[in-house]
Amino acid sequence: MQLSNVLSLDCTKSAVSCSSKKRALELISEIAATHLDQNPQPLFECMLNREKLGTTGIGNGVAIPHGRISNSDHAIAVLIQCQQPIDFDAIDGQPIDLLFALLVPEEQCKEHLSTLASMAEKLGNKKICKQLRNATTDQELYNILIDDEEVSVTPQ
């Protein structure tokens, strides 16, 4: 699966003013809800419930919040670059400024896991993270991930 199948330009936001983990998840939910034509509250609750199981802050300023959603037949990703880093209870204790969220239909668990693994690997690349942090527009942020051929994900 290509990342462009789940991440669109209108779900990619640069220089977002965000004050907390909760607010970041709310913003992601609002963006995804508009794209999915759904109420943002259940989307927010599914990501918040996942965070209660353990942080999705994977370290080095990156978080990959995710969850399974009902009433949808396709996955959606949201990429946010925060204006200022926020506390996200990351595993390394460092604040987060890059969030890649993934919401998938409940029946797409296998695809969900392989996409998360691929993004965790990609966002573990310091060069890519530096490019994402230096991006100044939504388009530039989007292009950094989409134009990279290694972004494609193959369900296992």
Using CA atoms in the order 25, 28, 34, 36, what is the torsion angle rounded to 10 degrees?
A: -90
Task: List Cβ neighbours of 120 (8 Å cut-off, separation of 6 or more).
Answer: 58, 64
d(CA 119, CA 100): 8
d(CA 100, CA 104): 13
Q: Is the dihedral of CA 106, 51, 142, 125 positive or negative?
A: negative
Q: Is 66 in the active site?
A: yes
Question: Which 8-state DSSP code applies to residue 38?
Answer: S
Pairing of strands 66-69, 62-63: unpaired
Catalytic entry in 35, 66, 74, 112:
66
Which residue numbers are catalytic? 66
